[in-house]
C-alpha cells in the first residue's frame, strides 16, 4: 500500500515536471522566433536604406 502511494506521488511529480518543461520550451521557442523575426526585419530595413 505504501509503495503504491509513493509511486503515485512520484508519477504526479514527474507529470508536473514534464508540464513545466513543455511550458518553458514553448516560451523559449516563441521568444526565439520573435527575436529572429525582429532581427531579420531590422536587417532588411537597414539594407533598404543603404546602411549596411
Of these ranges, 1-5, 12-16, 18-22, 25-29, the one predicted with the greatest mean pLDDT is 25-29
Please state, in angstroms and rounded to a whole number, the distance separating the CA atoms of residues 8 and 18: 15
| 50 secondary structure, DSSP code | T
Question: Over the Cα atoms of the chain, what is R_g?
Answer: 22
Average pLDDT on 8-27 reads 83
Band of pLDDT at residue 50, cut at 50, 70 and 90 = low
- Mean pLDDT for 28-48 is 85
pLDDT above 60 for 52: no
State residue 15's pLDDT score: 81
Q: What is the reported pLDDT for 51?
A: 55
The pair phi, psi for residue 50, each rounded to 5°, is 75, 25
Amino acid at each position: 500500500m505504501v509503495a503504491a502511494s509513493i509511486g503515485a506521488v512520484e508519477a504526479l511529480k514527474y507529470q508536473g515536471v514534464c508540464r513545466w518543461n513543455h511550458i518553458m520550451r514553448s516560451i523559449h521557442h516563441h521568444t526565439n522566433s520573435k527575436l529572429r523575426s525582429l532581427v531579420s526585419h531590422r536587417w532588411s530595413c537597414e539594407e533598404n536604406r543603404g546602411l549596411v
